[in-house]
Copies of this chain bind each other. A is one copy, B any other.
Amino acid sequence: MSIQAVPLAKAYRLLNHGPTVLVSAQHGDSVDVMAAAWACALDFTPAKVTVVLDKSTYTRVLIEQSGQFVLQIPTRDQAAMVLGVGTQGLLEHPDKLNAHGVQLFQYDAQPLPLVQGCSAWLLCRLIPEPHNHAAHDLFIGEVVAAYADDEVFRDGHWHFESADDKWRSLHYVAGGQFYVIGDSLNVSAATA
């Protein structure tokens, strides 16, 4: 495996197919990681994203304090961890990251906590929007750096169909049920 930078103009492609993401943030010595199915691309250039963060999550507190967060794309192999960190809050379960085997790293001198084993990472600067935070739990970030593991994303495209199945992205429904991403389907503009 090898982590490669993704050009910011292509960063939307990491989210375009609608995967469930992990959201991580750090303020001082406090770090939290949560799961979010409600994350979405918002713009191409500058690259922006939206993510819905419930008021009960400590990750949201850390994002409001630090003004930064990471959206990362977990893999099929990480489904139990995603459910675990998505179900437990850090305040009630201060050991939740260890309990679910979350390992963090920093990359490229960016002072943000990245989750190991994911397929891609979008490092974001919070764009403060107090009305959206308060009324809708909706947070907007500008993507300042993006990386992907070239085992499954390279040259601006996902390669789920040729990579090992363990790399497939997760798409949460409810009650512990995910779908993993499936086959590639190419439609030519000529036939469209």
Interface residues of A (CB under 8 A from B): 13, 16-20, 37-43, 48, 50, 52, 76, 79-81, 83-84, 87, 100, 131-132, 136-138, 140, 156-158, 160, 168, 170-174, 176-189, 191-192
Contact = CB atoms under 8 A, between A and B. Distances in A.
Contact of A182 (B131, B158, B179, B186): B179
A80 B170 CA distance: 25
Contacts of A140: 136
B80 A174 contact: no
B173 A16 contact: yes
Contact of A100 (B170, B179, B192): B192
Interface centre among A37, A41, A168, A191 (most CB of B within 10 A): A37
B178 A185 contact: yes
